Amino acid sequence: DEYDELDEAPDGHHGNMEHQRWEKTRLNAAVTKYGARDVKPKKDNYDLITDDDVIEFVQAATRKGTMDDKEMTEQLSAKELKKQSIDEVRKSLPTFAYRQDLLNAIEEHQVIIIEGETGSGKTTQIPQYLYESGYCKGEMKVGCTQPRRVAAMSVAARVAEEMGVKVGAEAGYCIRFEDCTSERTRIKYMTDGMLLREFLTEPDLKGYSVIMIDEAHERTLHTDILFGLVKDIARFRPDLKLLISSATLDAEKFSTFFDDAPIFRIPGRRFPVDIYYTKAPEADYLDACVVSVFQIHLTQPPGDVLIFLTGQEEIETCCEMMQEKARALGSRIRELLILPIYANLPSDMQSKIFEPTPPGARKVVVATNIAETSLTIDGIVYVIDPGFCKQNNYNARTGMESLVVVPCSKQSANQRTGRAGRVGPGKCFRLYTAWAYMNELEDSTTPEIQRTNLANVVLLLKSLGINDLIHFDFMDPPPHETLVLALEQLYALGALNHLGELTKLGRRMAEFPADPMLSKTILASEKYNNFVQHRSLKRARDVRDQLAGLMERVEIEQTSSGGDSAAIRKAITAGFFYHTARLTKSGYRTVKQQQTVHIHPNSSLFEEQPRWMVYHELVFTTKEFMRFGINKIFLRIRMGNSCLVLSFLLGKQLQLQCIEIESGWLLEVAPHYYKSKEIEQESKKMPRKQGKSAAELG
């Protein structure tokens, strides 16, 4: 067991020879110093070495035969020879040996928990086995949920390829605002959020013979809600089969929740992975990643590298740093293919990570934790793990949501490590100390339901007729105050009446796959004419089409506001009045909670300091910043290449992170929520600043 090595390394050192060798090469071959950047030597971790040193090292290594050409070519051509037909690949996956046993078990039991190592073939193979053995007779479908969009798209593409059909034919996927399925689709991959929405139109999921809740261990909010819903419908649909599948985690807990459903374990194939820790904490883990990649590239045998970072921006920076470095070294090093993978990457770029590495080259995949368990990239031998991830947190008391980079859990760290051991023995370089692993990392990640705003989900459940949320069958119930706050917000928005029942507005809001504040904003078009504008939406046509369709469904006629900025901002206020901040003598404070907040210095309103603002969200970085990130909203509405979009709401004000409003609007859009007294008095106190507001300047 690779994790046993921890016991040998209580002081942060790794006991064995291999590790000492690594430490040595690390010191000898470290490739730091990036251009003009001021890099201080990191005494304990990496020595500062110049490009010339690297060239010398490469030349020496080649002379010594560390990177013997012949050896490398031989290894790679052996790999080439192993190129198998799709059929052979399918048969080689661990699930294949259990095909019949698994089908028998599914035949016998209504609910089964399936546990198997990542990459064993659960996601791509099991739905195909079901399809092949008659579970898709007539119009019936096998549905498989994924917490991540990218995973849904990419496995559907893979399965379609294996089945020899186009994506969207027998195998397809459905994610928010993108339905790539057809009449013929029998195996449908979708995000967990998408299946949740299907309950709105098909509460008994009668089109499905099997539902597979995949990646159950991820415990996303939507997956957790699905657990309760599918458990319920399984009771009155005895013909529906339910598969709960996960990486090797939590199976017992799932089994207990699903009335002691049997656990089907698929023994995985896993090669040993050596784990290496740094001796001292890394000051800059991006730097450390780059250094490690080049060390691997220069000193280690063939095999691809996988780096885990926290998000798109970081991934892009890291890729640039590596590319720059690789360019500087030119033909002196072997080809390095640097490939990013994150949720908003265009799909043609996404599929690149699965393409086989050309002989002689080395692939470096820089991923978010999507590559932890959702996606398996063949050929990975080295994993570099800085040990961080991005996590959302919600404080129900202040209503503050934050997205922060936090240390990942031990569970994640071990999954990441496992990625190095699929094709052969691997190595995992953890850019933190063994002490940190043991003392600073939580055992597992807190389920999302316990650290997120629930307004959206509460609205959806209400519209499914589930009124008593306190007694909903949660695997781990959310904190009571979070539920209460969600109900309060929905009440304030007018989505619920004083009995907690859905209003007509609420019913309309629930139709929209967006945050309630945002759906209310959109629905406010009825009154203020804030409809979706076609002009600037070429790339976002699918978003526009779906929203427009939903407007029709809730019987709202669309007319143009004529680009009237005030009307548009009013409509936004109608949805976001809950997020109002006003300028006081001591800076900005949220109106109800009296929380101190700030305009982000990047905002064009930073200098302007308008008296009243609404913001999209509070983001805690170093201060509580108010943001009205239009791009962000549309990241939420439309996945993928979003940036574009929304001149549709604010036209030229796209750059603003929050918007200026007039306090009087609050009384118009939310008279039940704001007293005229508190607003008028406050307005009089503060003399208006000279000059035009940014909003007026456009």
Q: How many residues bind ligand CDP (CB under 6 A)?
A: 17
The distance in angstroms from the start CA to the end CA of the chain is: 62
The DSSP 8-state label assigned to residue 224 in this structure reads H
- As given in the structure block, the two tokens for residue 481 are 């105050």
Determine, following the binding rule CB under 6 A, whether residue 354 of this chain makes contact with ligand CDP.
yes
* Interacting partner of 445 out of ligand CDP, Mg ion, none (Cβ under 5 to 8 A depending on kind): none
Name the minimum Å distance from CB 118 to Mg ion: 7
- Cβ-based neighbours of 419, under 8 Å, separated by 6 or more: 118, 306, 371, 372, 376, 377, 380, 383, 426
Positions 130 through 189 that interact with ligand CDP (CB under 6 A): 154-155, 157-158
* Closest CB to ligand CDP among residues 423, 484: 423
* Residue 78 dihedral angles phi and psi, to the nearest 5°: -60, -40
- Determine which residue in the list 25, 123, 453, 653 makes contact with Mg ion, applying CB under 5 A: 123
* Interacting partner of 80 out of Mg ion, ligand CDP, none (Cβ under 5 to 8 A depending on kind): none
**Closest listed residue to residue 208, CA positions, set 178, 174, 251:** 174
- Determine which residue in the list 124, 310, 415, 590 makes contact with ligand CDP, applying CB under 6 A: 124
Name the minimum Å distance from CB 117 to ligand CDP: 7
Containing 428, the helix (H) or strand (E) segment is strand 426-430
* Cβ pair 207, 173 in contact under 8 A: no
Name the minimum Å distance from CB 121 to Mg ion: 8
CA dist., res. 460 & res. 511, Å (int)? 8
Q: Pick the stretch among 8-16, 115-123, 402-410, 566-574 that binds ligand CDP (CB under 6 A).
A: 115-123
Q: Pick the stretch among 117-125, 495-503, 531-539, 641-649 that binds Mg ion (CB under 5 A).
A: 117-125
DSSP letters for 63-112: HHTTT-HHHHHHHHHHHHHT---HHHHHHHSGGGGGHHHHHHHHHH-SEE
Determine, following the binding rule CB under 6 A, whether residue 318 of this chain makes contact with ligand CDP.
no
Positions 67 through 106 that interact with ligand CDP (CB under 6 A): 93
* Interacting partner of 292 out of ligand CDP, Mg ion, none (Cβ under 5 to 8 A depending on kind): none
CA dist., res. 27 & res. 53, Å (int)? 12
Name the minimum Å distance from CB 440 to Mg ion: 29
Name the minimum Å distance from CB 158 to Mg ion: 11
Rg (CA), the chain: 27
- Determine which residue in the list 49, 58, 98, 119 makes contact with ligand CDP, applying CB under 6 A: 119
The DSSP 8-state label assigned to residue 261 in this structure reads P
Q: Is the dihedral of CA 447, 448, 453, 459 positive or negative?
A: negative
User: What residue is closest to Mg ion based on CB?
Assistant: 123
* Cβ pair 244, 145 in contact under 8 A: no
CA dist., res. 675 & res. 678, Å (int)? 6
Name the minimum Å distance from CB 246 to Mg ion: 9
Name the minimum Å distance from CB 417 to ligand CDP: 15
Name the minimum Å distance from CB 376 to ligand CDP: 4
* Closest CB to Mg ion among residues 32, 128: 128
* Closest CB to Mg ion among residues 222, 579: 222
* Closest CB to Mg ion among residues 123, 191: 123
Positions 375 through 404 that interact with ligand CDP (CB under 6 A): 376, 378
Q: Pick the stretch among 120-128, 230-238, 489-497, 584-592 that binds ligand CDP (CB under 6 A).
A: 120-128
CA dist., res. 502 & res. 232, Å (int)? 22
- Determine which residue in the list 122, 176, 451, 579 makes contact with ligand CDP, applying CB under 6 A: 122
- Cβ-based neighbours of 150, under 8 Å, separated by 6 or more: 341, 342, 343, 345, 350, 370, 374, 375
Would you tell me which residues interact with Mg ion (CB under 5 A)? 123
Would you tell me which residues interact with ligand CDP (CB under 6 A)? 93, 116, 118-125, 154-155, 157-158, 354, 376, 378
